[in-house]
Amino acid sequence: MIFRDQHMRAAEGQGPAARDAAMKQSEMEAGAVTGFSTAIAAHCFFFIRAMFAAMAVTNALWLFFGFYATCLAVCRWFYARQGAEAPS
C-alpha cells in the first residue's frame, strides 16, 4: 500500500464525503507506514549487532555512515530539493 501510491491525493473542493474518505485512507496508510518502519527497525537492531560481531568496529561505523549518507541523499532528492517530485 505504501509503495503503490507515491503521492497523496488532494480532496479539497470535493465535499465532506470525499474529505472523510481521504482521511480514512490516510489513517490506513499511516498504519502501514508505521508497521513497515517498525519491521525495518527490528531487523536493523539485529543487523547492527551482527555487523559489530562480524567486522572491526571502524569498518562497521564507516558502513553505517555510508548508509545514512545515502538516506540523506535520497531524502534530499525526492523531498528537499527545489523541483522535487513530492516537496515537503
C-alpha cell of 81? 530539493
> Which residues lie below 8 Å from residue 32, measured CB to CB, with a gap of 6+?
1, 2
Phi first, then psi: give them for residue 77, nearest 5 degrees. Answer: -65, -45
pLDDT recorded at residue 3? 56
Ordered DSSP codes for 66-78: HHHHHHHHHHIII
Successive 10-residue mean pLDDT values, the chain, 88 residues: 55 75 82 86 86 90 92 89 79
Phi first, then psi: give them for residue 68, nearest 5 degrees. Answer: -65, -35
Q: Where are the domains of the chain?
A: 1-54, 55-88
pLDDT recorded at residue 43? 87
C-alpha cell of 73? 541523499
- Grid-cell match 555487523, residue found: 51
pLDDT recorded at residue 8? 55
pTM above 0.75, yes or no: no
C-alpha cell of 11? 480532496
pLDDT recorded at residue 5? 59
pLDDT recorded at residue 56? 92
pLDDT recorded at residue 13? 61
